[in-house]
Amino acid sequence: MIATVTLNPALDKIIILDQIKNCDNNKIKEEKFDIGGKGTHVSSVLSDLGLKNIATGILGGHAGSILESLLHKKDIECRFIYPPNYETRTSYIIIEKNKNNHFMLTEKGDKVDAKSVDELFELIRKLSTSCEFMIFSGGVCPGFDVNIYRKLIELANENNCKTFLDASGDYLIEGVKGKPFMIKPNIEEISDIIGHKPKNIDEIVFYAKELIKYGISIVAVTLDSNGSLIVSENETFRIYPPKIKSINTVGCGDVFFGSSIFKLYHNSNLREAFKFATAISASKAMNLMTSEFDINEALKLLDEVTVEYI
C-alpha cells in the first residue's frame, strides 16, 4: 500500500479570464475547483494511473470538504486528521487566456493544535507499518515544528517504509536529515539545501552526489522547462522534455513526482521512471486543470523525451 501525507492541503480554485486590467472590474469567465496541496496532488496522479492509495494529513472546513469529495471521486481512501475549527486553505490559480499567463496565490493555512499534531503522529506510525511507500509533500501549516518532516520520515523509515519528500525552505533542510529514499527539489529548493544558488549543472551534480553519500537514494532536481537532473549512486542523467504549448504549469512538479513514484513502485529502472514522469508532466502543462493529464497524449510524447547520461 502507498500513502501520501499533506500537512497543509489546499483546494485549488482555477479562475479564468481573458485578461487582467489594472484598476478594472475584471469579470471572471469561468471558475473550476481542483485538487491542490502537493501530497494530495500525488494521490490524484497515483489514482489516475490506477494505483490505489491513501491520502492523509490535516483537513477541515468547507474547502476541506470540497477537496475530500474530489479525492473520493478518484477512489482515494481519505484518512485525515480533522482539527477543531480548522479550515483548509485555498490556492487561487489565475489564468489570463489572451496573454497565456497564469499566477498562483496560495493562502498560508490555519494553525493546527497540539492534540491534532499528536494524533497525526499516531496515524503515521500506524500507517507506516502497512505501507511500502510513504510520500511527504508540500507546505506545512503553522503549529508543526520545523523538524516535522524529519521526525515523520524517521518514523516511517524505522518501519521499513520507502519515504519520498518534496518540501521547501527549512522544512526541506530539516527533512533531508531524516534521510528519505528520494527527494525532488526544484532549483530554489536545491539552493535552500546548498545554501546558495548553484552556478551550473556540474555544481548541482556535485551537491546531489553529496546527498547520495549522506544516505538519500535518489535526488531528482526539476529544472522547469529545461527538464530534470536525476542522480543516484549508480547513475546520473539529464532528461529533456518534449516541445509543447504550455497552458498551465501549476501542478507539473507534483505530477512528475507522483508518476515517477508510480513507476518506482512497479520496480521500473530510473531511466524509464523519469522519462515516463517527464511525458506525464508535459501533458499536465497542456491541461488547464492543476491535477489533470491525458495518459494517451503523454504516451505519444514519450518518444520525444531524451536522456543524456553524465
Question: Which residues would be at the binding site for ligand TA6 (CB under 6 A)?
Answer: 8, 10, 12, 36-38, 41, 91, 106, 138-139, 250-251, 253-254, 290
Contact 44, 11 (CB under 8 A): no
- d(CA 110, CA 154) in angstroms, rounded, equals 26
235: cell is 547513475
C-alpha torsion sign, points 1, 249, 207, 271: positive
14/205 with CB nearer ligand TA6: 14
Q: Least distance in Å: CB of 105 to ligand TA6?
A: 10
Q: What is the CB neighbour count within 10 angstroms for residue 77?
A: 15
Q: Least distance in Å: CB of 303 to ligand TA6?
A: 27
Q: Least distance in Å: CB of 47 to ligand TA6?
A: 16
138/178 with CB nearer ligand TA6: 138
10/152 with CB nearer ligand TA6: 10
59: cell is 483537513
182/205 with CB nearer ligand TA6: 182
Contact 184, 164 (CB under 8 A): yes
Q: Least distance in Å: CB of 291 to ligand TA6?
A: 7
105/310 with CB nearer ligand TA6: 105
186/268 with CB nearer ligand TA6: 186
Q: Least distance in Å: CB of 150 to ligand TA6?
A: 18
The Cβ-side half-sphere exposure at 303, using a 13 Å CA radius, reads: 3
Q: Least distance in Å: CB of 23 to ligand TA6?
A: 28
Q: Least distance in Å: CB of 165 to ligand TA6?
A: 13
What does residue 195 show for φ and ψ, rounded to 5 degrees? Answer: 100, -5
Contact 264, 273 (CB under 8 A): yes
Alpha helices in the chain (DSSP H): 38-48, 61-73, 114-127, 148-158, 169-176, 187-194, 201-214, 252-265, 270-285, 295-301
Name the closest residue to ligand TA6 (Cβ).
36
304: cell is 520525444
Length of the chain as a residue count: 310
- d(CA 231, CA 64) in angstroms, rounded, equals 36
123: cell is 496515524
175/253 with CB nearer ligand TA6: 253
- d(CA 45, CA 259) in angstroms, rounded, equals 7
8/116 with CB nearer ligand TA6: 8
Q: Least distance in Å: CB of 52 to ligand TA6?
A: 21
Contact 260, 227 (CB under 8 A): no
62: cell is 468547507
